[in-house]
Structure 1
């Protein structure tokens, strides 16, 4: 299987037509058609449904796409190690990050990174859902939730404990909770995905169902509601670090319970053939978070 054919295959996938792929690759459409046909013959499957106006992936083509990305990335990684300029970082960095972390931290890292590496392009998906990075053809996922067992490779970037916080105006009006009993009497801003709040009591995690008048599916909405004085929120440190520094939120520490310790994790599909663009991004992210902390 030729890497060049896989590049043509992925170009057709991204552009949606043979002619558009030919323009992108600066070749004639007939060459694209022949190489796709040769790839289909080699694999013994049909990769695209073709009409006179467009093409679309078959189920076999959808299955091939993430493997094609991996094979091309592996080739780029090898060439990057052997070329006279091994520090050159190029290509498309495809990654996903939680919505608030992606907007507040990742987007703050990118200007410096992309200025230093003008041939680097970034596709960033911000979502609080756990994305299948292998099926989606992603290079990297940044996650803040506890990691489930998997065959993916995880690198710990920084501690990211849960934090109880509220706006100063709310605490002035309703008082500062000192313990769990006090907290039960306060308004809480709840996230749909976290039905119970985890507290560490005598070294063990205990989950408590909290009461609140506002429930939302968005971490960003929880943070905004907290800054507007609607109640006490439970978020992770890197979601609120700048708000705490700016005085928009105040951290609440209880006398009889601690908050669950989490971390920011970088998850990659494999330990082998990690593209240079992933390594450079993670090093830049690590340095940025150490400065901010």
Structure 2
């Protein structure tokens, strides 16, 4: 069986007046060309070239091979070009699952920008604070914030994200500042129910002594919507435990005050989850991951 290399070699023979000229074109010795031609003729069990004193001529079979082979090589080159263009084209549908508030503020604008860069692309964005892992394969990218206990998906780090304990100035004026995590038992706390986490167990680590504390709060108010929980805190209704990306603006404006600064809460880094088959990862997914890391890795909530 001959292959594309054989066809290309014979095209070179057919386009030169002699085997010696073919050897010079290929930058090999004349015996190398002669031996390879003999091998090709043996494969086909056909005589392809008539050898004369200073030139060659193609047999009828050789002329047919040259003619059809040229068409095959042209079609093959066109096919490779088409595949390369397809590989480089960002198209199809990009399906993204994201937490609700973060998705509204950061993922939705980035997806709109991404689609404008690649007009042949369509976007599907679903927002949910309780992602359904059982249907993870239906998403190209899952944005996740929080403690990731177990996942068979591939994790891509997007941005660091700490958690803060905050309350409004009006709440603190009325109830005072906690000085230790244990003091939270005497305060009104607001719980945000998301990601199926144990949201009433607040864990702390002293940044100086490494003292570990775990406090079980009894929330006066609880919601599965982060916007509602933050609004309650802004209204002076209690202390909130929330990601820095969501509280930084209010802290900078003085509408919320960070509490227990000597204590660290478990981080909730922002990550993207994709399927485990790297070869199957589409170019649109890879390019969107690049955009996420570039745009969110700089922590734009501090701008």
Pair 1:214 & 2:215 matched: no
Q: Which residue of 1 aligns with 2:170?
A: 169
- 1:130-159 Cα distance to aligned partner (Å, 9 max, x none): 322655511111111222233211111111
- 1:151-176 Cα distance to aligned partner (Å, 9 max, x none): 21111111122111122332333333
Give the alignment of 1:260-271 within 5 angstroms: 260-270=266-276, 271=278
Q: 1:80 to 1:121 in 2, by over 3 A?
A: farther
Q: Which residue of 1 aligns with 2:75?
A: none
181, 187, 200: which one pairs with 1:195? 200
For 1:268 and 1:133, the matched residues in 2 are separated by: 13
- Structure 1, 92-101 or 188-197: larger mean CA deviation: 188-197
The number of residue pairs the alignment matches comes to 214
How far is the alpha carbon of 1:243 from its aligned partner? Answer: 3.1
Q: Which residue of 1 aligns with 2:157?
A: 156
Q: Which runs of 5+ in 1 are unaligned?
A: 1-78
Contact residue 181 and residue 215 of structure 2 kept, 8 A: no
Q: 1:195 to 1:266 in 2, by over 3 A?
A: same
How far is the alpha carbon of 1:104 from its aligned partner? Answer: 1.8
Q: Which runs of 5+ in 2 are unaligned?
A: 1-79
TM-score, normalising length: structure 2: 0.62
Q: Which residue of 1 aligns with 2:258?
A: 251
For 2:106 and 2:82, the matched residues in 1 are separated by: 29
- Computing the radius of gyration from Cα coordinates, the structure with the larger value is 2
- 1:78-125 Cα distance to aligned partner (Å, 9 max, x none): x99942475532221111111121112212323322222222221111
Q: Which residue of 2 aligns with 1:70?
A: none
How far is the alpha carbon of 1:188 from its aligned partner? Answer: 0.8
For 1:80 and 1:244, the matched residues in 2 are separated by: 54
3-state SS in 2 of match to 1:83: helix
Quote the RMSD (CA, aligned, Å). 2.7
Contact residue 161 and residue 245 of structure 2 kept, 8 A: yes
For 1:123 and 1:136, the matched residues in 2 are separated by: 14
- 1:54-80 Cα distance to aligned partner (Å, 9 max, x none): xxxxxxxxxxxxxxxxxxxxxxxxx99
For 2:258 and 2:281, the matched residues in 1 are separated by: 38
Give the alignment of 1:1-293 within 5 angstroms: 82-84=83-85, 87-132=88-133, 134=135, 137-192=138-193, 193=197, 194-201=199-206, 202-203=209-210, 206-255=213-262, 257-270=263-276, 271-289=278-296, 290=298, 292=300, 293=302
